[in-house]
Amino acid sequence: MEGYEKFEADILRLTSIDLTCYKEKQMKRRIETLVTKNGQKSFADYFTLIKTNKEKFDEFINFMTINVSEFYRNPDQWAFMDREVFPALIEKFGKNLKIWSAACSTGDEPYSLVMALSKHLPINQIKIIATDIDKTVIGKAKVGLYNEKSIAGVPADLKKKYFKQVGESFKIADEIIARVEFKEHNLLKDPYPTGCHLIVCRNVVIYFTEEAKDEIYKKFNKSLVMGGMLFIGSTEQIMNYRDIGFGRKQSFFFVKDAEAK
């Protein structure tokens, strides 16, 4: 089926969704099924249909929307970071913080970090490194399209400021997306970033063996500057955190501590 590149450009203008962030062969094939399902003969015909028919437009957007992610997961922990962690890091290290969102999945976590930090720093000074082993989820993260349930935890002021409703879904602002640099990364094999002030890795390490967990936490410790912090998930514990070189700031926040070990 011809005309996919024009369809990509038309969709970008209509919805701000950039289909080029996805693997072309897979996405083209998936959208072709929608074209056929709706009795259309070409991408151009299908675009005309979704442009003029709200029900079909909503069907297309729902087809594109990420359904598995959650912004500001565990709001109490994000409130603690807003109240205690960000101010302490900025006071200690200044405004150019190096922050790594490890195993970032579909982008809810790094985008939450940008929005949360925007209350403390000018948005153009914020930069998040976000990594995941899965190319597909990185592609979805770059598009930045989420359903209502995914963004339920976003504070109302930030939701109003940084999300635009598209059909029944929500597109995050390009100015937020621009502050995140996505990269492929395997926590078990690849070199880790260095000089980090904050590492966020939540509800991922639970899937690894105890030996692999220890190795990952040791590498996180090496990645952090002295006084830098690690934020883990509410399903995780680091029982031997002192042996690894961490002090505990709060249940799920650990600080690289020269006196630990």
Q: pLDDT category, 62, cuts 50, 70, 90?
A: confident
Parse the chain into domains and list their residue ranges. 4-64, 75-142+174-256
User: Measured over all CA atoms, what is the biggest interatomic distance in the chain, rounded to whole angstroms?
Assistant: 68
pLDDT of residue 23: 65
Cα separation of the two ends of the chain: 62
Residues 6 or more apart whose CB falls under 8 angstroms from that of 197 comprise 89, 93, 97, 98, 99, 224, 225, 228, 229
* CA neighbor of 150 nearest in space, from 138, 168, 123: 168
pLDDT of residue 16: 80
pLDDT at 67 over 60: no
161 CB burial (10 A radius; 0-12, 13-18, 19+): middle
What class, spelled out in words, does domain 75-142+174-256 have in CATH?
alpha beta
Structure tokens at 101: 């969102």
pLDDT, tens digit (0-9, with 9 covering 90-100), for 194-232:
999 999 999 888 777 788 889 999 999 999 999 999 999
Q: Which residue has the higher pLDDT, 67 or 144?
A: 144
121: left (phi over 0), alpha (psi -120 to 50) or beta: beta
Most confident of 84-93, 135-144, 196-205, 236-245: 84-93
pLDDT of residue 104: 92
pTM of the model: 0.79
User: How far apart are the C-alpha atoms of 256 and 201, rounded to whole Å?
Assistant: 15
pLDDT, tens digit (0-9, with 9 covering 90-100), for 1-37:
789 999 999 999 998 877 876 668 878 998 999 999 9
pLDDT of residue 15: 85
- Find the mean pLDDT for residues 75-80: 94
**Using an 8 Å Cβ cutoff, are 80 and 72 in contact?**
no
